[in-house]
Amino acid sequence: MNKRIAKFRALSGPERKLLLGSMLLLPLFWIGLHVFGLPRLHAWLNRSVQVARPSRYRQEPAAMGALVNIAGDHGPWPSTCLTRSLLLGWLLHRRGVPSELRIGVRLDEGRLEAHAWVECDGKPINDAEDVAARFAPFDEALPHKMFA
């Protein structure tokens, strides 16, 4: 527990804010996904206003992805790759950073598995670089207008 507190204290103020905010928002995204479904929630999230405020504490997308993943790993609520990716995509969108929600599938011992991640400039930012080799992504990123 002391290591976790020390790691938290080592974060900058904006990083702490993003981590705590993600812990609070992930359950809402999980509920929204289950109540409204992916198409409606994704469309609604991407209609929200961009609030690209200039800040001297501009976080890199990969660092934001890591913090959202940490929040998902240590929060008291359920967190899936899809809820994390929806939250991260929304956070990036609000900051004016272009990103794409990617969904891939694979067969593992006869079971179909799906996985979601976010890409910026064609690179995964909340998952390993080889995620597209482990999960066959749909040919194109899921466009926002597809869900409208």
> Mind giving me the DSSP string for 68-106?
HHHHHHHSSS---HHHHHHHHHHHHHHTT---EEEEEEE
Cα separation, 142 vs 139, whole angstroms: 9
Query: Would 38 be classed as within a structural domain?
Result: yes
Cα separation, 50 vs 97, whole angstroms: 9
Query: Would 3 be classed as within a structural domain?
Result: no
Query: Would 5 be classed as within a structural domain?
Result: no
Query: Would 127 be classed as within a structural domain?
Result: yes
pLDDT of residue 105: 93
pLDDT tens, position by position, 115-140 = 999 999 999 999 999 999 999 888 76
Instruction: Give the number of domains in the chain.
Output: 1
Considering the entire predicted model, what is its pTM?
A: 0.84
The range of the structural domain enclosing residue 85 comes to: 13-48+57-147
Query: Would 4 be classed as within a structural domain?
Result: no
Would you say 68 and 86 are in contact if contact means Cβ atoms under 8 Å apart?
no
- Return the closest-CA partner of residue 125 out of 95, 96, 94, 89: 89
Cα separation, 32 vs 41, whole angstroms: 7
pLDDT of residue 59: 72
Query: Would 1 be classed as within a structural domain?
Result: no
Query: Would 120 be classed as within a structural domain?
Result: yes
pLDDT tens, position by position, 61-116 = 999 999 999 999 988 787 999 999 999 999 999 888 999 999 999 998 999 999 99
Query: Would 7 be classed as within a structural domain?
Result: no
